[in-house]
Structure 1
Amino acid sequence: MADEGTTASGSGPGRIRPTGRRRKVHGTRRKVLTVVAWSAAGAAVLSGAGLGYAYFQLNGNLKGVDINSALGTDRPKNADNGSMDILLMGSDSRQGTNGKYGDDGGGARADTAMVLHVSKGHKKASVVSIPRDTIVSRPECRKTGGGTSPAAERAMFNESYQIGGPACSVKTVEKLSGIRMDHYLEVDFTGFKKLIDKLGGVPVTTGKPIQDKSSRLDLQPGRHTLDGEQALGLVRTRHAVGDGSDLGRIQLQQAFVKALIHQAENVDLFGSPSKLYGLADTATRTVTTDSSLASVDDLLGFAKGLQGIGPKDMNMVTMPVTYDPADPNRVIPLEKKGAQVWEALRKDRPIPESATKGAAGDKADASKVVKSS
């Protein structure tokens, strides 16, 4: 890590937090934070309409990972202040239909990682993107295929997923941040495309041309409604904008997430039960969650806790990093600035601007390339 000081570890045994149903938040059911929340709301409508088969079908689609059992008690303390922290992951496995995006070089990795902090009262949220090329101190992890991978001092962040799947990713993020993750949500390439298509596409406006053969993207300046394939190309491109690093790509991802939320607010799925079921079915087949969210009821409770949060209520930043002097294709955390970010989340406070100002992610020039239409 860059020599700025030391981060607070916050490690130690703590009791397991309850699921995201801490406080009932009233408001329109059309206002949600993620497509996953749409699937939960859809499941509730269908079951409420007496479609019991649909409810059980959706319930059976969900895949859960018992993170708590895998990690045990050697975890950061439970803040237990009414806030909630979720690790959101996009995996880049090339298995099955994802194979057309090329060889994965030895297994799935974390293509996208965001820590979502939902404040007490569930009215505001902070999102901290972790660059996949960050050099971190990775803890010892159980391997997906059996056995144990020893701790490593200079490991690339996205290798944690390849080595030990969701549990190792959560463990790495908790070591990095000193914050206990309450939940885990993961979407893969193919599922992401299908979700966007089921929503009818996502409108965005591009301020500059975005062309990238490797991500199959060719967008001229102007307004576009991105289908699933185009949306995937946008959130994956790293050569068509900025300096070609992961930092510019993260800014595109953050802009697209806000556009996606805006679109979800304005699509009346409840007027079409078949379309609603199609989205719910696709979403529940697509996501992998921690075991405490791996049922329609639990996912619905989680979704209800996010209903009061819209794009204007979210502060999205990139974890403070600088380019690695030993390898310009990698970045390393800025300890002092990173400590400010994680401390703000632990204490359920807004992230101060000083925490990210001057960091490499703050200097990336892709933030105005894409915006909601």
Structure 2
Amino acid sequence: MFLPVTGHDSDRDEGGETGRRSRALKIAGIALAGALVLGTGAAGWAYWHLDNNITGVDIDDALGDDRPPKPVTTPSPSAPVLPGGALNILVLGSDSRSGAENQRLGGGDSSGARSDTAMVVHLDAGRTAATVVSIPRDTLVTRPSCPRPSGGSTAVAYDSMFNDAYAVGGPVCAVKTVESITGVRMDHYVEIDFSGFAKLVDALGGVTVTTDEDIADDDSHLHLKAGTHHLDGTRALALARTRHGIGDGSDLGRIGLQQQLVKSLLEQVAAQRLLTDPARLYRVADAATAGLTTDTGLDSLAELTRLGESLRGLPASEVRTVTMPVVRAPSDPNRVVAKEPEARELWESLR
């Protein structure tokens, strides 16, 4: 005869509940570990993807020593530690039609590319101020002999359109031409194409600009009334490219719009607080690196991140935008040449 032993039943229940809790904790631990592994894998993939968005060009090797010297500064022992020395970066917006998206945004399928926009960005040693100098694409210059990507060299060209340098010899010739006319060494090179610019603006949620006059440009497909507008990437690109619908139709009017876009985008980035929104930060980083070409000193996510971190203390209000002083070219009223001595004095201030 067996008597019920209720204590044993109670022990089995407790053991079962403890076992269930133990199993639940194990499952939760496994799930957490899996999430961490997946998260680490996703982060690794995201880093790899962003890193591989960037195309690098070895400009230093191509140009060798035939360029302006790097400035040498000897800091005082009592000087404060700065984020880095002064830097000069050539930033180009290329009108490349490579790829379906660039063809759509560029309005054609012609081969080759030219530098649609050229800016020399000077960052001071403390990274608390910057000067952005626009070089009109219609400037007539003496283009130096440049190494060709396929071998050999181009001939020296006199009274050549500035933006032809890129078309003839790519980024290397663009850098060499800028260094030739400015006497300033370009520490870095950054190029973004049509598609990359439009994607960046969209990732930032658009950009707000104010126009002082109506714009009607069928070539860039842009029609805006005077006033303040919030533009998506496609319309912002059209604004950066428009020239026939404003002022006298020259490149100088377009440069003013491009400089306004730069300031507005900097303010947009500063207001976003991207570090608190990882998903949006990734979208912006993906857009910023898409269609991006740099020199080999900036062609990795780590190097771009270091540069970006050094600019944390740079407010948009301390970014000065100017245009290289120019006058109408005596040989062609549709072209300009550097105005001296004003242009030389401007470049000397950036060395």
Q: TM-score range by the shorter chain?
A: 0.7 to 0.9
**Which of 82, 89, 93 matches 2:92?**
89
Alignment-derived partner of residue 120 in structure 2: 115
Q: Retained in 1: the 8 A contact 2:266–2:316?
A: yes
Shifted more, 241-250 versus 277-286: the winner is 277-286
Per-residue CA deviations over 1:276-330 (Å, capped at 9, x if unaligned) read 2122122222211110111111111111122222221011111111111211111
Match of 2:66 in 1: 74
1:245 and 1:221 map into 2 onto residues whose CA distance is 19
Residue of structure 2 equivalent to 1:215 = 220
Higher RCO (CA 8 Å, separation ≥ 6 residues): 1
Query: What is the TM-score with the length of structure 2 in the denominator?
Result: 0.81
Offset of 1:65 from its aligned partner? 0.6
- Partner letter of residue 255 of structure 1? Q
- Give distance in 2, aligned partners of 1:169 and 1:113: 9
- Paired residue secondary structure (2:290): helix
Q: Deviations over 1:201-259 (max 9, x none)?
A: 00122332122111111111232210011101111011111111001110110011101
- TM-score, normalising length from structure 1? 0.77
Residue equivalent to 2:329? 324
Q: Is the 8 A contact 1:212 1:240 kept in 2?
A: yes
Which ranges in structure 1 are unaligned for 5 or more consecutive residues? 1-46, 347-373
Cα pair distance change 1:48/1:218, threshold 3 Å: farther
The answer to whether the 8 Å contact 2:53/2:292 transfers is no
**SS of the counterpart of 1:293?**
coil
SS of residue paired to 2:341: helix
Task: Supply the AA of the counterpart residue of 2:347.
Answer: W
Distance 1:60 1:85 in 2: 25
Deviation digits for residues 128-180 of structure 1 (CA, Å, limit 9, x no counterpart): 11001110011101223433211112111000000111110000000111111
How far off is 1:199 after superposition?
Answer: 0.9
Q: 2:348 aligns with which of 322, 340, 343?
A: 343
Find the counterpart in structure 1 of residue 44 from structure 2.
52
Aligned residues: 300
Alpha-carbon displacement from aligned partner over 1:30-74 (angstroms, at most 9, x marks no partner): xxxxxxxxxxxxxxxxx9998222112212221111010010011
Stretch deviating more after TM superposition (271-280 or 110-119):
271-280
Q: 1:125 aligns with which of 130, 133, 136?
A: 130
CA distance in 2, matches of 1:116, 1:239: 26
Q: CA deviation at 1:102?
A: 3.9
Distance in 2, matches of 1:120 and 1:262, equals 22
- Mapped to 2, the partners of 1:312 and 1:142 lie a distance apart of 39
- Flag the 1:339–1:54 CA change in 2: closer, same or farther, 3 A: same
Q: Distance in 2 between matches of 1:280 and 1:292?
A: 18
The one-character-per-residue Cα deviations of 1:75-117 (angstroms, maximum 9, x if unpaired) are: 1011134211000000011222222334576520000000011
Q: Is the 8 A contact 2:209 2:264 kept in 1?
A: yes
| Residue 99 (str. 1) matches residue 103 (str. 2) | yes
Q: Which amino acid aligns with 2:217?
A: D
Q: Which residue of 1 aligns with 2:145?
A: 140
1:108-257 → structure 2 map (5 Å cutoff): 108-257=113-262
| Alignment match of 1:307 (pick from 306, 312, 315) | 312
Give the corresponding residue for 1:278: 283
Distance in 2, matches of 1:49 and 1:270, equals 20
Q: Is the 8 A contact 2:196 2:289 kept in 1?
A: no
SS in 2 for 1:240: coil
Quote how far apart the aligned CAs of 1:275 are: 2.2
For residues 285 and 106 of structure 1, the distance between their equivalents in structure 2, rounded to whole angstroms, comes to 20
Judged with a 3 Å threshold, the aligned counterparts in structure 2 of structure 1 residues 328 and 105 are, in CA distance, closer, same or farther, namely farther
Matching residue's letter, 2:232 = D
Alpha-carbon RMSD: 1.8
Whose helix proportion is higher, 1 or 2? 2
Residue identity in the other structure for 2:69: K
For residues 109 and 140 of structure 2, the distance between their equivalents in structure 1, rounded to whole angstroms, comes to: 19
Between the aligned partners of 2:222 and 2:252, the Cα distance in structure 1 is 18
**Larger Rg belongs to:** 2
